[in-house]
Amino acid sequence: MDLFDGLKDKIGGQDKTIVFPEGQDPRILGAAIRLAKDGLVKPIILGHEADIEKTAADNNLDASGVLLIDPETYPEDKKKDMLDALAERRAGKNTREQLADWLKDVNYFGTMLVYMDQADGMVSGAVHPTGDTVRPALQIIKTKPGVKRISGAFVMQKGDERYVFADCAINIELDAAGMAEVAIESAHTAKVFDIDPKVAMLSFSTKGSAKGDMVTKVQEATKLANEQAPDLALDGELQFDAAFVPTVGAAKAPGSKVAGHANVFVFPELQSGNIGYKIAQRFGGFEAIGPILQGLNKPVSDLSRGCNEEDVYKVAIITAAQSVK
């Protein structure tokens, strides 16, 4: 089954609601209309109603099947409830006037809809930079209990092959605890995509074949992750060939349940992760799906500003699938 066919089955009949703060963009509006027509999610589009209607008219789109919300004309009683909830969440870190200004920003407004359970997830970033999408999520939705950071994973797909690479998008440097945390969250992401996770903690060393602080970090991360998730198939430190190729894994890490069979690859820092996924994408012909933000209490997805309508459509499906318990 195609990856997205599987995700569509997962979210079918779930009535998941996804909020799109950038409703005036034709890519966003077109994708939202398709999602509603296909019965996959219930889209909420944010923006000035006149601007959205103009975008629809200019692009021959029928937006009658999606819910449009203009934050400026949002009912005063609902706006007060939202401001009260935000003030409580920020616990005195900002004045009420500052928070009222925040809610004039569509990304903050959309994030509050998710926080208040009026939407199951949010997709933004077609117009706004990554920080404008991620910052409200970290300030309001925050990370899961016990999770200190978000990370960015890519699902790499070609034919029947499907793998998870992380962190390839967010954390420039990871210490051992951070790498362990990314590993466990990446295993959760793998399960969303019906991948039975076998996690490799990557290094330029396999089982002590090289020495150095970078190797020690991966060894410590492996130990921490195994302690925190003892039922998870996870091993390290492993070179990529030892993690991926059965004969090499058997030779370099005999007895490992992961070596030679890994499908979730955790990189020791962002530089190698970003390079690695792009090599697989450009040399290997894999489709890179993501970045998928991991570690948040509720799913928020960040689009590339170079995305097209199909990208928006797929990311929304992923976001809805992340919200399925």
Q: Are residues 242 and 166 in the same domain?
A: yes
The predicted pLDDT at position 1 comes to 57
What span, in angstroms and rounded, lies between the C-alpha atoms of 239 and 224?
19
What span, in angstroms and rounded, lies between the C-alpha atoms of 168 and 76?
42
Quick one: three-class SS letters along 210-276?
A: CCCHHHHHHHHHHHHHHHHCCCCEEEEEECHHHHHCHHHHHHHCCCCCCCCCCCEEECCEHHHHHHH
Q: Are residues 207 and 133 in the same domain?
A: no
Helix (H) or strand (E) holding 321, with range, is: helix 309-322
Q: Are residues 76 and 148 in the same domain?
A: no
CATH of residue 208's domain is: 3.40.50.10750
Using the 8-state DSSP alphabet, how is residue 167 labeled?
S
The predicted pLDDT at position 37 comes to 94
DSSP letters spanning 80-95: HHHHHHHHHHHTTSS-
Contact 99, 139 (CB under 8 A): no
Distance of CA 66 to the CA centre of its chain: 24
Q: Are residues 61 and 152 in the same domain?
A: no
Q: Are residues 34 and 118 in the same domain?
A: yes
Contact 261, 198 (CB under 8 A): yes
Share above pLDDT 70 across residues of the chain, in percent, rounded to a whole number: 100
Q: Is 265 left (phi over 0), alpha (psi -120 to 50) or beta?
A: beta
Number of domains in the chain: 2
Sequence-ordered list of residues with C-beta below 8 angstroms from that of 146, at least 6 positions apart, any chain: none
Q: State phi, psi for 69 to the nearest 5 degrees.
A: -130, 125
The predicted pLDDT at position 283 comes to 97
Q: Are residues 151 and 262 in the same domain?
A: yes
Q: Are residues 317 and 282 in the same domain?
A: no
Contact 12, 324 (CB under 8 A): no
CATH of residue 305's domain is: 3.40.50.10950
Q: Are residues 133 and 179 in the same domain?
A: no
The predicted pLDDT at position 131 comes to 86
Q: Are residues 187 and 128 in the same domain?
A: no
pLDDT by residue for the chain (325 residues), tens digit each? 578 888 999 998 899 999 999 989 999 999 999 999 999 999 999 999 999 999 999 999 999 889 999 999 999 999 999 999 999 999 989 899 999 999 999 999 999 999 999 999 999 988 988 889 999 999 999 999 989 999 999 999 999 899 999 999 999 999 999 999 999 999 999 999 999 999 999 999 999 999 999 999 999 999 999 999 999 999 999 999 999 999 999 999 999 999 999 999 999 999 999 999 999 999 999 999 888 999 999 999 998 888 899 989 999 999 999 999 8
Burial 161-185 (b: 16+ CB within 10 A, else e): ebbbbbbbbbbeebebbbbbbbbbb
As a whole number of Å, the end-to-end CA separation of the chain is: 21
Using the 8-state DSSP alphabet, how is residue 15 labeled?
-
Q: Are residues 91 and 150 in the same domain?
A: no
Its domain, for residue 200, covers 144-295
Q: Are residues 185 and 101 in the same domain?
A: no
Is the entire prediction scored with pTM above 0.85? yes
Helix (H) or strand (E) holding 162, with range, is: strand 161-166
Q: Are residues 157 and 218 in the same domain?
A: yes
Helix (H) or strand (E) holding 124, with range, is: strand 121-124
Burial degree of 287 (CB within 10 A; 0-12, 13-18, 19+):
middle
